[in-house]
Chains A and B, each alone.
Chain A
Amino acid sequence: MSAVLEPNAGAPAVARSPGVWDAAWLRLKDDPVGMGALAVVLAFLTLILASVLGFAAADWEREKGVPYAYPFFAGDRENVEAQAMQGIAIGKDRRPIDISDVDPLAPKYREWAERAAKLSLIDPPRLATLPAGGDRWGRDVLAKAIKGTQISVLVGVFAALVATLIGTLLGAFSGYFGRRLGDLLEWVYNVFTAVPTILLIFAFAAVFGRGIGTVILILGLTGWTGTYRLVRAEYIKHASREYVRAAHAIGASHASRIFVHILPNVSHVVLVQLSLLVVAFIKAEVILSFLGLGVPIEMVSWGTMLGEAQNELITGKWWQLAAATAFMAMFVTAFSLLTDALRDALDPRLR
């Protein structure tokens, strides 16, 4: 040991340097767009939390209004569907043609009528208008959209996390180690991309059955390929960079070089992919729900709302579409802007 260096006792006491995340937070605070986006995303998260805990939209299944109730601001228009439904209700009182001679059930009618008289059917008063309109059964569209947010965001975010995790891990190993392992992973990637996505989704759906967990898994397992490709390319590029060689020279292990040294330097690619995937998966959930492979029938998501809106739109009932679209657009835009701001904040060079 030739280079001996005594730790300098008189070294100025310097406070520990701010961590990467602290510094990133300070930079994010200076970005008005990023902070706005963060506020919107946080508002959505609060909404989701409220809906999970039952503070908001707990009664989304209650049929509060008349079918296709108009929104408040358009309440003075004529609601043909609601009138038609009431018409059917009036028609109940009319006697049908007497066919008791041939009807084998005729003796039972009286018994049934007596039994029915013991029960009383209360039809709660239905509202003519709802805050954002009603759907076919008179359910509040606003409540549906809030409840739908819970499912859609859950599916989008978790599926994107699963896909990004798989894509990043495989891409990192493939790009960093290359050779045999790289070839093997490339082969897996090629097989996955060669099969049409929708077919792959059907296959996974058939194996796993229905449910939210399944939707997340299906989307995650089929959507990692793009991230894998990009991350692999970044790792190939970075693995031969001098700072990684320098890390090798000081004795850093493979794991340390992959996750501690290179990963922060490719995190912008991963983050951008993550935000794109969240958006893509929220849309994919719509398609899956439309095909009957999505969320179960007793749940509501933006996807099922859009699916219903398809038929309604022909008859001029636009509010379900508008509500679902507005929620989706707001969340997706805010989320994209937030990841973009996060990317900038995490990059010390962009200051």
Chain B
Amino acid sequence: MLVRVRDLSVSFRLGREQTAAAVRGVSFDIPRDRAVALVGESGSGKSVSALSIVRLLPGNAIVAPQSSIEYDGRNLLREPVERLRALRGRDFSMVFQEPMSSLNPVFTIGDQIAEVLQRHLRLTRRQALARAAELLDEVGIPEPRARLGAYPHELSGGQQQRVMIAIAIACQPKLLIADEPTTALDVTVQRQILDLLTRLRQSYAMSLLFISHDLALVGEIADEVVVMREGEVRESGPVDRIFTVPQDAYTKALLACRPRLDARPRRLPVIEDFMRGGPTASAPREARPAGGPPLIEAAGLRKAYRLKTGLFARKTIDAVRDVSFRLARGCTLGVVGESGSGKTTLAMLLMRLVDAGGGSVRFGGKDLLALSEREMMAFRRRIQLIFQNPYASLNPRFTVGRILTEPMKIHGIGKDEDERFERAIALLGRVGMPAESIYKYPHEFSGGQRQRIAIARCLTLQPDILICDEAVSALDVSVQATVLNLLLDLQEEFHLTYIFISHDLAVVKYMADEILVMNQGEVVEAGDAEAIYAAPAHPYTKNLLSAIPRGYAARAQAR
């Protein structure tokens, strides 16, 4: 056993007397030369547990006295700081979630790799730089020698993460802790980083502690899995057992609540179903007929941004190029693509939140792009948008009541304030929120609850079309399932038309009847969702689909 964590309890001081428990009596082992995954949703204590090993917890953390983390015959929680400092970077190393913020922007990447080598292995600068070039080659960065002098901003997100990994493996550590290393990356890049981590773990014979919220990802990389929830270990064991015969209800729920590529139930199972032991399966969703007159029709939409590259030099970047689609009432159009593909710009164009460079959007017999701001008001009511980040899209200074009544006031819905409040309360009930929420401020709610409030705000205007721009991407998987279920219920009840934008191919597959696959502002493939997922025609689509983590099942099949 490399590291033995026993009865770890960590709490955080919040005020003078308040404390909040983050981890409660967690025990797990990290064997030598194995990959252990800590899985859990936000607030499950997985990162805190991992950071405790290297004692990188913030200053207000309190580790309970009975906790122990045994490494090399010593309890790391009792070791002096100097000794830990010698271990960090040499025996233990870390890769964080955001490569953009974990590299220092003012030093070259060569400097940053050499620093660890000079510090821990006492190499000279020349030796360290030579070794750094080898490491860059090993993590798959082309032209490593030339890249030594590059600054972090000159690299893409995936390359930055590779550099972070190079720094982490520089001293051939015994344990590599990777805290959500691929969450900020696109799905195709995620695939490459996962492959790299697996290959390096094997060739260096090191242990890997992989922290993730994504069970599918974990199923591909881990040997042992520890499932955590609310600071406690729910279940732990070898990966095949966790995935094939999960014992704990929560593990079962986590495995089931992600939309799958091969099935499309009417309703996604949620955590409560499993905890209560209720029915979890539901009938498959009936496919919607693709025909019918189009409700909204976009043709040749384009938007270019002009960037200043010099005193007079300008560069134009096409954010959206020649995008066309038609969508019938009651259907869902899925828009998939990686970051920078122009998905969000498309949503902004449809809402006229940015000015289009060309094209037309026909809706209700009018071209929306040709309307004046005044004429547009009537149409604003009919197209609404749910934003990605529920933490940012609600005004923090407004109470929920004000957030919900404001749109009604603007559009003259409801005859007085009392009636508007009544409607707001009714809508809150419809999206599954208690009536008391109306007094509260957005910060008093969790991410999923905030997204429900955002949905309720859109519904106050009784729209025809709802654009969901990454509406569930920032949410935990179990919350994702409940919000997706809500969206489907609302679609049936109010006969809504959705434009569902996401980078998450599984979610789009679940929601959409038709899809647009976008790459660098262009639509590379469009058509019926089932057909495209079954037989992608464009190489980009194929690449995208093959990069989706398929969990343990795919790995078992490959064996």
List chain A positions with a Cβ less than 8 A from chain B: 1-8, 11-12, 14, 16-18, 20, 241-243, 245-252, 256, 261, 264-265, 348-349
Are A11 and B435 in contact, with the CB atoms below 8 A? yes
**Partner among B377, B393, B425, B463 whose Cβ is within 8 Å of the Cβ of A246:** B393
* Residue ID in chain B nearest A12 by CB atoms: B435
Distance (whole angstroms) from the CB of B112 to the closest CB of chain A? 30
A7 to B426, CA, bound (A): 7
Are B426 and A17 in contact, with the CB atoms below 8 A? no
* Residue ID in chain A nearest B378 by CB atoms: A251
Chain B residues closer than 8 Å to A7, beta-carbon distance: 414, 419, 422-423, 426
A10 to B124, CA, bound (A): 78
Are A3 and B425 in contact, with the CB atoms below 8 A? no
**Partner among A11, A18, A250 whose Cβ is within 8 Å of the Cβ of B380:** A250
A77 to B426, CA, bound (A): 81
Are B381 and A243 in contact, with the CB atoms below 8 A? no
**Partner among A17, A246, A348 whose Cβ is within 8 Å of the Cβ of B457:** A246
Chain B residues closer than 8 Å to A242, beta-carbon distance: 387-389, 392-393
Distance (whole angstroms) from the CB of A61 to the closest CB of chain B? 49
Chain A residues closer than 8 Å to B255, beta-carbon distance: none
Show 18 residue pairs from A and B whose CB-CB distance is below 8 angstroms, ordered by the A residue.
Answer: A2-B329, A2-B494, A5-B427, A6-B426, A7-B419, A11-B422, A11-B435, A14-B438, A241-B392, A243-B396, A246-B385, A246-B395, A248-B353, A249-B351, A250-B380, A250-B384, A250-B410, A348-B443
Chain B interfacial residues counted at CB < 8 A: 51
Chain A residues closer than 8 Å to B462, beta-carbon distance: 1-5
* In the complex, B36 has a CB within 8 A of chain A: no
* In the complex, B394 has a CB within 8 A of chain A: yes
* Residue ID in chain B nearest A17 by CB atoms: B439
A246 to B351, CA, bound (A): 10
A5 to B436, CA, bound (A): 20
Are A250 and B392 in contact, with the CB atoms below 8 A? no
Chain B residues closer than 8 Å to A8, beta-carbon distance: 422-423, 425-426, 429
A11 to B387, CA, bound (A): 28
**Partner among B348, B377, B429, B438 whose Cβ is within 8 Å of the Cβ of A17:** B438
List chain B positions with a Cβ less than 8 A from chain A: 329, 348, 351, 353, 377, 380-381, 384-385, 387-389, 392-397, 399, 401-402, 406-407, 410-411, 414, 419, 421-423, 425-427, 429-430, 435-436, 438-439, 441, 443, 454, 457, 459, 461-464, 494-496
Are A349 and B443 in contact, with the CB atoms below 8 A? yes
Are B385 and A249 in contact, with the CB atoms below 8 A? yes
A344 to B224, CA, bound (A): 47
If the complex has contacts A5-B423, A8-B425, A20-B397, are A246 and B387 also in contact, measured as CB distance less than 8 A? yes
Chain A residues closer than 8 Å to B397, beta-carbon distance: 20, 264-265, 348
* Residue ID in chain B nearest A19 by CB atoms: B399
Are A2 and B387 in contact, with the CB atoms below 8 A? no
Are A251 and B380 in contact, with the CB atoms below 8 A? yes
* Residue ID in chain A nearest B428 by CB atoms: A11
Are B423 and A14 in contact, with the CB atoms below 8 A? no
Main secondary structure of the interface of B (DSSP, over half): helix
Chain B residues closer than 8 Å to A348, beta-carbon distance: 396-397, 441, 443
Q: Kindly name the residue among A14, A250, A261, A264 whose own CB sees the greatest number of chain B CB atoms within 10 A.
A: A250
Chain B residues closer than 8 Å to A249, beta-carbon distance: 351, 353, 380, 384-385
Distance (whole angstroms) from the CB of B547 to the closest CB of chain A? 28
A169 to B18, CA, bound (A): 41
Are A251 and B419 in contact, with the CB atoms below 8 A? no
A210 to B550, CA, bound (A): 80
If the complex has contacts A17-B401, A261-B395, A265-B396, are A251 and B411 also in contact, measured as CB distance less than 8 A? yes
* Residue ID in chain B nearest A250 by CB atoms: B407
Chain A residues closer than 8 Å to B423, beta-carbon distance: 5, 7-8
Distance (whole angstroms) from the CB of B76 to the closest CB of chain A? 35
Are B436 and A4 in contact, with the CB atoms below 8 A? no
Distance (whole angstroms) from the CB of B367 to the closest CB of chain A? 19
A293 to B496, CA, bound (A): 69
A264 to B384, CA, bound (A): 25
If the complex has contacts A2-B496, A242-B389, A245-B387, are A250 and B461 also in contact, measured as CB distance less than 8 A? yes
Known A-B contacts: A8-B426, A11-B422, A250-B410. Give 10 more (CB < 8 A): A4-B462, A7-B414, A7-B423, A12-B435, A16-B401, A242-B389, A246-B394, A250-B411, A251-B411, A264-B397
Chain B residues closer than 8 Å to A246, beta-carbon distance: 385, 387, 393-395, 454, 457
Chain A residues closer than 8 Å to B414, beta-carbon distance: 7
Chain B residues closer than 8 Å to A247, beta-carbon distance: 395, 406
Chain B residues closer than 8 Å to A251, beta-carbon distance: 377, 380-381, 407, 410-411
A147 to B348, CA, bound (A): 60
A18 to B392, CA, bound (A): 23
Chain A residues closer than 8 Å to B461, beta-carbon distance: 250
If the complex has contacts A8-B422, A349-B396, are A250 and B457 also in contact, measured as CB distance less than 8 A? yes
A116 to B381, CA, bound (A): 92
A3 to B397, CA, bound (A): 29
A311 to B555, CA, bound (A): 89
Q: Kindly name the residue among B377, B395, B410 whose own CB sees the greatest number of chain A CB atoms within 10 A.
A: B395
A8 to B402, CA, bound (A): 18
A18 to B438, CA, bound (A): 10
Chain B residues closer than 8 Å to A16, beta-carbon distance: 401, 421
A8 to B421, CA, bound (A): 10
* Residue ID in chain A nearest B390 by CB atoms: A242
Chain A residues closer than 8 Å to B436, beta-carbon distance: 14
Distance (whole angstroms) from the CB of B468 to the closest CB of chain A? 13
A252 to B461, CA, bound (A): 13
A250 to B462, CA, bound (A): 11
The 9 closest A-B pairs by CB, nearest first: A3-B494, A8-B426, A17-B439, A250-B407, A264-B397, A3-B462, A242-B393, A242-B392, A251-B380
A271 to B300, CA, bound (A): 48
Chain A residues closer than 8 Å to B419, beta-carbon distance: 7
A247 to B409, CA, bound (A): 12
Chain B residues closer than 8 Å to A20, beta-carbon distance: 397, 399
Distance (whole angstroms) from the CB of B442 to the closest CB of chain A? 9
Distance (whole angstroms) from the CB of A248 to the closest CB of chain B? 6
A313 to B267, CA, bound (A): 84
